Amino acid sequence: MELKATKKISLHWQIMIALITGALTGWYFPSISPYVHWMGIIFLKTLKMIVVPLVFFTIVAGMAGIGRGENLGRMGLKTLGFYFVTMLLAILTGLILVITLKPGIGGGMQLPEGFEGLQAHQKKLGEILLGVFPENIFKAFSEPNMLGIIIFSILLGAFIPALESHTARKITDLFEGFSSLMLKLTLFIIRFTPLGIFGLLTELTARQAGSPEALSRLGSGLGLYALIVAGGILFHGLFTLSLVLYTQGISPLKHFSSMTTVLLTAFSTSSSNATLPLSMEEVIQKAGVSKKIASFTLPLGATVNMNGTALYECVAVLFIAQVYGLSLSLTQIIIVVVTALLAAVGSAGVPMAGLVMMSIILSAVGLPLEGVALILAVDRPLDMLRTALNVYGDTCAAVVIAKSEGESIYSG
C-alpha cells in the first residue's frame, strides 16, 4: 500500500500546494469560500466518522495480539512516561521564554471588560478524571469520549486471550480483519486530503480577510506572546523532540520528513482526533511501526499527550498574569506548571480545546477568567501550530516505543 495520489506529485506536496493556494484564495477572493468550504467539511466529517471505529478495532485487535497482557504493563508505563517527560519539557520551554521575554509587560494591552461563555464549558478536574470510565459505552462512542473508548477497548482486547483458544482465535481474527478494513478506508480518505485542506484554508482565511483586526493587534504585546508560543513550539518540535529521537537512534530528519502529511493535516484541521487516522496509517506504513504499538500509543497520545497545548497553556496563563500586573510566587508558578500539564492531558483533541481548559489553571492561581479574552484574537493560528506539535509528539512516542520494543524503524 503506497501513499501516492498521483505518479508525479507526492501527497505532502499536494497538501502544501492546497494549503498555500487555499490561503491565497481565501484572502484575495473571500467570496469563493462558500463554494469550496464544503470540501473541507466533508473531509473533516469523514475523518471523524472513521476515528472511533478505527481506534476501537485497532486497539482491541492489538490487545488481543499482545497476549495475556504481559507486555502491556511495560509498554503502557513506557508510553505514559514518555508523554509525561516530553510534556513537562514543553512546559518548561514555555516557562523560560515567557519569564525572560515578558510579553505582557509594557505592551499596551487593554484589560478585557468581561468575557462570557467560558464558564459554560468549564469542567472540574475531578469530573474529567472520572469521565475516563464510561458507564455507558454507547454514550462514550457517540460523544465521543476517546479516553473512555480507549479504556473499554483495552479491557475488551486484554480478555480475549483468556477465552477458550478456538474462540479466542476466531474473535481475534475478526477484530484484526476489521482493523485492516478501517486502515484501508483511512487510506482512501487520505487521498482527498488536498481537496479538504484547500476548502478548510480558503474558509479560514476568508473569515480573517473580513476582520483583519487580529493582524492589526499584533503590534502590541499580543504579537510577542504569539511569537513566544510559536517559537517555543518550533523549539520543542525541532530541537527537544529531535534530540530525543536522536538519542534513541532514530534520524529526526527522516522522521520529520516522513510525517509531513500528518503535520500539515494537523495544522490545517487544528484537531488531533481528526488527524489520528492519518498518523496511524503513516506511522505504520512509513516508519514501520507495528500495528500493535501504533494502535496503543497513537490513540492514547491523541487524547492525553499534548506537548503543544501544555506549552501554550503555561505561556498564555503567565502572559495574562503579566498583563494584569500580577507577579506570581514560586508556589503559584509550580501550580501553573502542574495544572498546565493536567489541562493539556484533559484537553480533547478538537479545535480550541486548550483555550477552554485554560480556566482550570486560571482559577487554580486565582487569575480572572476574563483574561482569556486577551488572547482570543490570535488563538486560531496558535491552535494550528500547537495541534501540529501535539500530533508530532505522538508520532515520536510511537517510533521511540517501537524501537525500544525491538522493532526495526525506518529500515529500508
Binding site for ligand ASP (CB under 6 A): 270-272, 306, 309, 347, 349-354, 383, 386-387, 390
**Residue nearer to ligand ASP on the CB measure, 175 or 319:** 319
Cβ contacts of 256 within 8 Å, gap of 6 or more: 238, 242, 263, 392
Helix (H) or strand (E) holding 308: helix 307-323
**Which residue's CB comes closest to ligand ASP?**
354
**Residue nearer to ligand ASP on the CB measure, 15 or 356:** 356
Query: What are 248's three cell numbers?
Result: 534513541
Query: What are 406's three cell numbers?
Result: 525491538
Helix (H, G, I), strand (E, B) or coil at 195: helix
CA pair distance 321, 315, nearest whole angstrom: 10
**Residue nearer to ligand ASP on the CB measure, 42 or 352:** 352
Shortest spacing between CB 35 and ligand ASP, in angstroms: 27
How far from 206 is each of 18, 29, 92, 209, 372, CA to CA, in Å?
15, 7, 36, 5, 24
247 class by beta-carbon count within 10 Å (0-12 exposed, 13-18 middle, 19+ buried): exposed
**Residue nearer to ligand ASP on the CB measure, 61 or 283:** 283
**Residue nearer to ligand ASP on the CB measure, 120 or 330:** 120
CA pair distance 7, 19, nearest whole angstrom: 20
Shortest spacing between CB 158 and ligand ASP, in angstroms: 27
CB 160 within 8 A of CB 60: yes
DSSP 111-139: PPS---SHHHH---HHHHHHTTS-S-HHH
Shortest spacing between CB 352 and ligand ASP, in angstroms: 5
Shortest spacing between CB 306 and ligand ASP, in angstroms: 6
Cβ contacts of 324 within 8 Å, gap of 6 or more: 111, 367, 368, 371
Shortest spacing between CB 210 and ligand ASP, in angstroms: 23
**Residue nearer to ligand ASP on the CB measure, 107 or 231:** 231
**Residue nearer to ligand ASP on the CB measure, 64 or 358:** 358
CB 361 within 8 A of CB 313: yes
